[in-house]
Amino acid sequence: MEEQHKKILQRNRINLVKDLNPSNLCDALLEKGVFTQDMIDEIKSFGTRRDQARQLVRDLETRGSRAFPLFLECLVETGQHDLAKTLQNEGPAVTLQPAKPKQVVRPGLQPLPVSSPLDVNTQSKDVSHVVPLERPTTTPSPSPEKEYQRPGPPGRTRRDSIQSYKMDASPCGHCLIINNVEFDPQSGLSHRKGSNIDCDKLEKRFKALNFIVEVKTNLRQRQIRHALSALCKKDHSEYDCCVVIILSHGTEVAHNRFPGAVYGVDGQHVPVQHITNYLNGQHCPSLQSKPKLFFIQACGGDERDTGFEVSPDEAQPSICRADDQMDAIPMSSSSDSLSTSDETDARATLPTPSDILVSYSTFPGFVSWRDTESGSWFVETLDRILEENAATVDLVTMLMVVNNEVSQNSAKGLYKQMPGSFNFLRKHLYFQTQT
């Protein structure tokens, strides 16, 4: 949006929030291509009309040069003539120019290799012994238009047909950690003893991976949304990646893309799909085509997994953990009773944002276990695997190792946990590590 139009919106923000009717406006903005369905869903997720109007104006400022004239048209079409007249009179006459069709240049497709970049016979326990990378003394920063190829370690042959994300900016990007430990008594949720251990580990780990780390503690639902909105509004142009880590209680909610939700300390939840929307290519243009990583240490529901028997050949020693707690709502409450979401169930026809990876500590619908002395199973394992392997192994492969190791744990000698990821990355991702 042009700067003069942004200033008009900012000068009239109070009146817009006070008088704007988003319910009729959203469909018109969607039809004209000003907003996407993701943005409309997020606006409607805010409870009050004023909150919806406030978010609509914020999002409008992030759109293109035609957004303001189209917004005026939508105001007139929905009968909000006074607001349209006020905005129109504050600036030069707005003439809507037809959009010029863009010429789409499609690159030639190359087949992917049949085998993984790593030896498929390599056992997870041997991943830490991969020969470390030899980094050049100086690494010129490639232009954003060119694909970034990470130099491979000596003695190994990399498959060049799978590209790697550019990850050489310094700092690499922002990392936001939300650590909810002490919950309001009326929320019915217990304090998460041991979560500070997780937070400290992850703060140190991502600082070592050259991220700018910001930690926020004990946030309410509205504060979680505000922190994500502030992160969205940052200029990420000079960075290569963005990370969001949430340590909290969680629950299962209806969804159309990413399952689950995390709780604020006030007992009100934020759906994971709304969390990811803040940083997708529509809401945060400076992160377009860049990896956006979300790590969720929270329950996906209140179901406990007792596992299943395997043959002696597949059995591995189970690590029994006795002093463990769940990051779930109390068993006496149902996730439905605490859910205020009115969204529909999964629809396979909706598009999925690219360059996003959401790593869950547990399978959707199940509890996630946390040791009160050493932290959660998932974070403890993730931190160690990153420390041992980040220099030479890509993120998706490391997460598979985390899945395997956490699956060997056993709470109270009975209950199991299975982490997993919703992976929409298009390339390999290798973190920066200290030489």
Is 241 among the residues known to form the active site? no
* Structure tokens given for 312: 């002696």
Is 249 among the residues known to form the active site? yes
Distance between CA 150 and CA 167 in Å, rounded?
A: 9
Q: Name the active-site residue from 5, 174, 236, 249.
A: 249
SS3 of 59, please?
A: helix
Residue 5: count of CB within 10 angstroms of its CB: 22
* Structure tokens given for 352: 């999925």
Name which of 251, 303, 302 is nearest 272 in CA terms: 251
Distance between CA 121 and CA 332 in Å, rounded?
A: 45
- Four-point Cα dihedral 64, 66, 67, 68, nearest 10: 130
DSSP strands (E only) in 151-297? 173-179, 211-217, 241-247, 250-251, 261-263, 269-271, 292-297
Q: Is the separation of the CB atoms in 306 and 278 below 8 Å?
A: no
Q: Name the active-site residue from 5, 172, 299, 428.
A: 299
Burial class for 200, CB neighbours closer than 10 Å (0-12, 13-18, 19+):
middle
Q: In what order do the strands lie in the sheet with 241-247?
A: 211-217, 173-179, 241-247, 292-297, 356-360, 420-423
Q: What angle do CA 174, 179, 182 make, to 5 degrees?
A: 160
Helix (H) or strand (E) holding 325: strand 324-326
Active site residues: 249, 299
